[in-house]
Structure 1
Amino acid sequence: MLETAKTALTTAALVAAWSLRWNVYVFLRLLPFASKSLPKIWTGLAVHLSALSAMWLSRSKKADRRTGLAPALGVLGIASGAASIVWAVAVDLVLVLMSLDMCYRAHYLHPAGALSFSRTGFVTDTSASLLFRSTSQSFNLTYVSNAAGSVKIPVHVPAGSDSTVSVHIDGLQPGETYSYISTAGHEGSFLTARAAPEIFSLVSTSCQKPNWPYSPLNHPLRVTGMEHLDKHVGGMRQKPEMMLFLGDFIYSDLPMPLAPYTKSYYRQLYRQLYASPSWTRNLLDLPWIHMFDDHEIINDYSTDPKHTPLYPEAIDAFAHYQLSVNPPPINPAQPTYTSFNIGQVAFFVLDNRSFRSAQPLRSGSNSTGGQGERTMLGVQQLADLRVWVDREGKREGRLLVLVSGVPVTRNWSEGGDEFDSWAGYLDEREEVLEMLWAVGGAVIISGDRHEHATTVLPPSPHSGHPSSHSVIEFSTSPLSYFHQPWLREHVEHRPTDITLHHEWRGMSRFGAFDFDTSGQEPKVDFTLVVDGEEEWKYTWWKGKGIAI
């Protein structure tokens, strides 16, 4: 009986040790969901320490030899000898401390309250918007160019803005490099757009979280994907016109929420991202255009009553750090969506969150939700989108680009988040696609799913439009975060959603676009960059159809 008890203790210690180590590995390197991993980690720790304590009280080297498990336990550092037990406890504590370190170190040790930085926002051929954060209430800004000389302007930091201020500069020269300095210690530069460029580039992605995958040796605010982005942008033949960042710039809820969802909490998350040591002047001087998605608020945000109280708290920080230097809004009453043109390419950047209905409930394996009155865009945004498509789509040589935070394709159909994308709003999706088919096709740029897919969305048979009017979607993310290691959620839905390329591996992913409107038909060269390496290239021509 005694030997059976000792064998059971030893087995329990062995299983608990494996469970603890596996769940820590999953949490720190694969899926950073504290709500799922931490209870398993704490349970494994409690069982392992309890078993070790019991083994210590009844230790017997002779009994260990009879169990036949001593060699295996020794490898794991959990044998019943005194030295082995001390070692096992030390390993347990280190693993648990690493898990706690990932959750809490940045929050408590790096709140970035004294952060001072500047970055470039939306830039045209004659203007530039710059964002500053300064602990000084006012400062002087001087910008200089070879053509225009030096200009000094006073800047006042408004109260209640978390020490941020946006500065809009007009009267600039096209294609000119301007450098700037401030009396508060800022310095940087920006390049105005060329007048009506026929060829230009941009990069796009979404989703990032500091110190992922976790390493105790990393700075807790390091963003590895930014380092890949900096290297790629620095090696491009021509500096990109902008970065389109399509949401989840911050994660308010992963690996776990660390404070109540208040303005103060959201502001700290933005400060921490901008305090990352992975930012370079090359990236800060690149124009960034931002939209927001759910994790800037809370996972799967919609206008559900349980979510809406968080919206004003979260949008405050987004407005100060991102929206204030975005392109001017189409509708000042709803300033979170916008449009702008670069040469012959017209962009419409959607707001996929502020006005959407609560997503539908999944019914068994059914993946056809989204019919009826449910809306992602809301009445006014949909009307403004229609006006934009009608206006821009009728202009000769114009290429339309719709920028969506969530995928338009319904091919990510096997996960619990399918209906958080346009798959949950299929009637409205059809309405939007019909607009784009009617003007000869378009490009959609999206993010969110921590994978990449290039998808063709051909006109439906009853639409009356030829296949050459197909829409193509390039959906790419994350810049720096996890991918799903074992569940494959992407399943092609022919004939409505046709996959050209799908890539799920990699923890850093962004797309580089080269637009060319110099020929008879516009074309787009796309490059997928995964973990810093060029993974796949594709060329799309408007109106020429796609072999499928």
Structure 2
Amino acid sequence: MASLPRVVAAASSTAVRLFAYIFLRWIPGHPFVGIILTSLVVYFSSLWFVLQDQGASNERDRRKQKNTAKRPLKSDGEEPGDSVLKTLLTGLPSKRSPLWTCITALINIGVTLLALDFLLRSIVTWPSTDAAFSRIGYVSPTTANLLFREPDTAQLPVIVSYQQFEPTSEKWIQEGTVYRIDNSTDFTTSLTLRNLKPSTHYRYSLSNNKTGTFVTAPRPGSPEANRLSFVTSSCLKPNFPYNIMSHPLRVPGIESMTEALGKLPALLKPAFMLFLGDFIYIDVPFRFGSSIDHYRSEYRRIYSSPSWTFSSKYGPAIDLPWIHTLDDHEIENDWSRGNKTAPYPAAADPFIHYHVSANPPVPVKPFAHPDDVTYFSFVNGPASFFMLDTRTYRSEPTKENSTILGSAQLQSLLTYLARPEPAGVRWKIISSSVPFTKNWHIGTSDTWGGFLNERQIVFEAIWQAEREQGVRIVLLSGDRHEFAATRFPDPELTLSSDKLQPNTAGLGVHEFSVGPLSMFYLPIRTYYQTDDDDVSVKYAPDGNSKFGLIDIADDFEEAEPNASSPAPVRSSVLTYSLYVDGEVVWKYRLSVPHEYDPPGRTRSGKSWILHPGRVIEDKLVAEGWGAVFETALGTAETLGKALIQKGTKLYYEVIEKIARGREA
């Protein structure tokens, strides 16, 4: 029977290797570093006792051999089956070979050093205080927001110029001169390039040698305004999954996305990235502080990534305009304590300087002072956008009066939904950092599933807008490190049960939730349909890099595909393409007919009903027993938590009744 020190040594060695693998390749959770370091200490402590026992055993063997002429006996300290393979796999010492004992101990030291390298190398070797970059944010038909960082005062003043991107163009237009940048904004500043032409390719140049390109949005009502392509995703972490040979700030997802977008034809070139939160992970793997500078340093490191210079036929990654929403890891995991409680004020400082300053304008009616608003609205071609902030104004979830938006933002959203869009705008797109669907059954309270009363208010306004305005509303979200498409049918449609089955395309307001752009994903399935309110369309959890490409263009769709003679109708068609690790794996199509007479009736006199969505491509492997088993694990965890909560509640109810009985 193995001695206790040997059991402890084998168990702690296994823990070091297992949790290091999980930390570096699966999920970089902050508890794992402590577990790995503790396990390593326990391993060497137990190894010392094992070696001591072996030394004592060897001494007993020598005494026996000295007092007997018999063949040497097998040492009590050498376990049956002692071998090189056993030593390497378990971490246990080998009496036969001290060399392999040293090697297996070095393996444990090595994997621990890898974990520490992932945790510390970027912070120690890349403080990024000298980071300098420039990027384009929101672009309108006549303007473009430019953000840059320049910590070197010797480069001041910085002169900003632009010109049309033409081989023969020589005329540079000077937009402005920045004379001062200081630490109050972490040496960042933003300005707006004005008097631009719609649908025109430009380049900009700064006197500190920063340059880039962009394309302005189309003029409303122009032929170009019938088309729009953009990408969306969320969540990124440098150098994950961990690669010791990689730059510590490399973001593989940005590179794979840039490469994939570079293969698209010019018509599908995206106008911007709609990034839905978790641009930094202040608390993953470990929070080193909560000061303003700690938050600022995370932004500086991300913008110091060499992945921004990764280029395709459309130029480097940094040339794609990004517009941003806020989520929890830019503040603190599952944040729900408002915008006054620490560490929110420190977290908001760099978010405002690095992102809000280059974002779109606030809504026409924000119902709050514009300086205190972090939700945005804009129009680009055939689509109108409302970018929600689901972190800054939220309260504690699952309460009777819980709010995820706050009163001002809710009123602004409802006003936006009720407002008819100008001619040519066929889509209202609402972005949220967290999913609207409650079909995710782990961490549901952190999503709109923890604010169902407010969700119902928003959904009723959305359904009414679709019935009355001749637009289609699409929801975009992130956060979950998985992809799921969900539809929320309008109750007035009174759909039959066969049209509400899981994993079916059809009618309803659609949500596409996607992430991460470059981070971990969970192998345990936690998304599944439980009622007819949230109808699952597609679930794709796997992949360290996922993003959606949305393309809106005019096309012809069959008005009634099931009719004996379906008639093509000119429509605005939205195609959602899901990319996983750089490859298209799923496509879905929605449409809005151009023929529409408000309020609520088409020219044919029929009731206004939007066409069902439909899958046009699906390369994902059909779910088998593995997926069923993983879903069962997620369900078991959910049920286990529910049983514990109910058991705890019942326990206290019984105790309270007993106490009351004694008082009586």
Normalization by structure 2: what TM-score?
0.76
Letter in structure 2 aligned against 1:430: Q
Is 1:443 equivalent to 2:462 in the alignment?
Answer: no
Matches within 5 A, 1:273-292: 273-280=302-309, 282-292=316-326
| 1:33, distance to aligned residue in structure 2 (A) | 0.8
Contact 1:141 1:183 in 2 (8 A): yes
Q: Which residue of 1 aligns with 2:581?
A: 531
| 1:8, distance to aligned residue in structure 2 (A) | 3.5
Letter in structure 1 aligned against 2:331: I
Partner of residue 115 from structure 2, selected from 80, 93, 99: 99
Is 1:310 equivalent to 2:343 in the alignment?
Answer: yes
* CA distance in 1: counterparts of 2:352 and 2:588, whole angstroms: 35
Partner of residue 74 from structure 1, selected from 84, 87, 105: 87
Is 1:269 equivalent to 2:298 in the alignment?
Answer: yes
Please, what is the CA RMSD of the aligned residues? 2.4
* CA distance in 2: counterparts of 1:386 and 1:289, whole angstroms: 22
* CA distance in 2: counterparts of 1:107 and 1:70, whole angstroms: 43
Larger Rg: 2
Contact 2:87 2:104 in 1 (8 A): no
Q: Which residue of 1 aligns with 2:44?
A: 49
1:303-356 superposed Cα distances (whole Å, 9 cap, x missing partner): 269x82211111110011111010111231432101111123111001111111
Partner of residue 388 from structure 1, selected from 397, 416, 439: 416
Partner of residue 150 from structure 1, selected from 163, 172, 175: 172
Letter in structure 2 aligned against 1:200: L
* CA distance in 1: counterparts of 2:484 and 2:390, whole angstroms: 19
Q: Which residue of 1 aligns with 2:277?
A: 247
Matches within 5 A, 1:147-226: 149-152=171-174, 153-159=176-182, 160-196=184-220, 197-226=225-254
Q: Which residue of 2 aligns with 1:108?
A: 124
* CA distance in 1: counterparts of 2:177 and 2:128, whole angstroms: 25
Q: Which residue of 2 aligns with 1:401?
A: 429
> Which sections of structure 1, spanning at least 5 residues, go unmatched?
361-369
Letter in structure 2 aligned against 1:478: P
Q: Which residue of 1 aligns with 2:602?
A: none
Is 1:231 equivalent to 2:259 in the alignment?
Answer: yes
Letter in structure 2 aligned against 1:533: E
**1:221 aligned counterpart, secondary structure:** coil
| 1:69, distance to aligned residue in structure 2 (A) | 4.1
Partner of residue 102 from structure 2, selected from 77, 82, 86: 86
Is 1:18 equivalent to 2:14 in the alignment?
Answer: yes
Letter in structure 1 aligned against 2:477: S
Matches within 5 A, 1:362-381: 372-381=400-409
| 1:7, distance to aligned residue in structure 2 (A) | 3.8
Q: Which stretch shifts more, 426-435 or 191-200?
A: 191-200
Letter in structure 2 aligned against 1:141: V
Q: Which stretch shifts more, 12-21 or 161-170?
A: 12-21
* CA distance in 2: counterparts of 1:304 and 1:245, whole angstroms: 22
Is 1:140 equivalent to 2:140 in the alignment?
Answer: no
Q: Which residue of 2 aligns with 1:38?
A: 33
Letter in structure 2 aligned against 1:74: T
Partner of residue 515 from structure 1, selected from 538, 546, 552: 552
* CA distance in 1: counterparts of 2:583 and 2:277, whole angstroms: 23
| 1:393, distance to aligned residue in structure 2 (A) | 5.2
* CA distance in 2: counterparts of 1:195 and 1:351, whole angstroms: 28
Q: Which stretch shifts more, 187-196 or 373-382?
A: 187-196
Partner of residue 520 from structure 2, selected from 482, 494, 517: 482
Contact 2:338 2:391 in 1 (8 A): no
**1:515 aligned counterpart, secondary structure:** strand
* CA distance in 2: counterparts of 1:463 and 1:128, whole angstroms: 45
**1:341 aligned counterpart, secondary structure:** strand
With over 3 angstroms needed to count, the CA separation of the structure-2 counterparts of 1:51 and 1:411, relative to structure 1, is: same
Contact 1:234 1:282 in 2 (8 A): no
Contact 2:158 2:208 in 1 (8 A): yes
* CA distance in 2: counterparts of 1:157 and 1:234, whole angstroms: 37
* CA distance in 1: counterparts of 2:489 and 2:119, whole angstroms: 44
With over 3 angstroms needed to count, the CA separation of the structure-2 counterparts of 1:439 and 1:395, relative to structure 1, is: farther
* CA distance in 2: counterparts of 1:436 and 1:545, whole angstroms: 17
In the comparison of the two structures, how many residue pairs are matched?
Answer: 527
**2:397 aligned counterpart, secondary structure:** coil
* CA distance in 2: counterparts of 1:530 and 1:478, whole angstroms: 10
* CA distance in 2: counterparts of 1:64 and 1:477, whole angstroms: 55
* CA distance in 1: counterparts of 2:102 and 2:180, whole angstroms: 56
* CA distance in 2: counterparts of 1:13 and 1:73, whole angstroms: 13
**2:360 aligned counterpart, secondary structure:** coil
* CA distance in 2: counterparts of 1:252 and 1:157, whole angstroms: 29
Q: Which residue of 1 aligns with 2:590?
A: 540
Q: Which stretch shifts more, 375-384 or 140-149?
A: 140-149
**1:279 aligned counterpart, secondary structure:** helix
Q: Which stretch shifts more, 518-527 or 43-52?
A: 518-527
**1:67 aligned counterpart, secondary structure:** coil
* CA distance in 2: counterparts of 1:163 and 1:546, whole angstroms: 47
Is 1:429 equivalent to 2:458 in the alignment?
Answer: no
* CA distance in 2: counterparts of 1:428 and 1:224, whole angstroms: 37
* CA distance in 1: counterparts of 2:245 and 2:533, whole angstroms: 47
Is 1:500 equivalent to 2:542 in the alignment?
Answer: no
Contact 1:115 1:134 in 2 (8 A): yes
Contact 1:202 1:243 in 2 (8 A): yes
Q: Which stretch shifts more, 223-232 or 152-161?
A: 152-161
Contact 1:516 1:522 in 2 (8 A): yes
Q: Which residue of 2 aligns with 1:460?
A: 491
| 1:357, distance to aligned residue in structure 2 (A) | 1.1
**1:250 aligned counterpart, secondary structure:** coil
1:254-286 superposed Cα distances (whole Å, 9 cap, x missing partner): 01102x211101100000000001113532111
* CA distance in 2: counterparts of 1:46 and 1:28, whole angstroms: 20
Partner of residue 352 from structure 1, selected from 387, 390, 413: 390
* CA distance in 2: counterparts of 1:396 and 1:127, whole angstroms: 21
* CA distance in 1: counterparts of 2:406 and 2:3, whole angstroms: 64
With over 3 angstroms needed to count, the CA separation of the structure-2 counterparts of 1:244 and 1:157, relative to structure 1, is: farther
* CA distance in 2: counterparts of 1:491 and 1:156, whole angstroms: 56
Contact 1:208 1:480 in 2 (8 A): yes
Contact 1:166 1:325 in 2 (8 A): yes
Contact 2:280 2:330 in 1 (8 A): yes
Contact 1:524 1:540 in 2 (8 A): yes
Q: Which residue of 2 aligns with 1:364?
A: none
1:359-378 superposed Cα distances (whole Å, 9 cap, x missing partner): 23xxxxxxxxx6x3211111
Which has the bigger relative contact order, CA under 8 A and spacing at least 6? 1
| 1:16, distance to aligned residue in structure 2 (A) | 2.1
Partner of residue 119 from structure 1, selected from 118, 128, 135: 135
| 1:38, distance to aligned residue in structure 2 (A) | 2.5
With over 3 angstroms needed to count, the CA separation of the structure-2 counterparts of 1:11 and 1:73, relative to structure 1, is: farther
| 1:396, distance to aligned residue in structure 2 (A) | 7.0
With over 3 angstroms needed to count, the CA separation of the structure-2 counterparts of 1:341 and 1:518, relative to structure 1, is: farther
Contact 1:397 1:521 in 2 (8 A): no
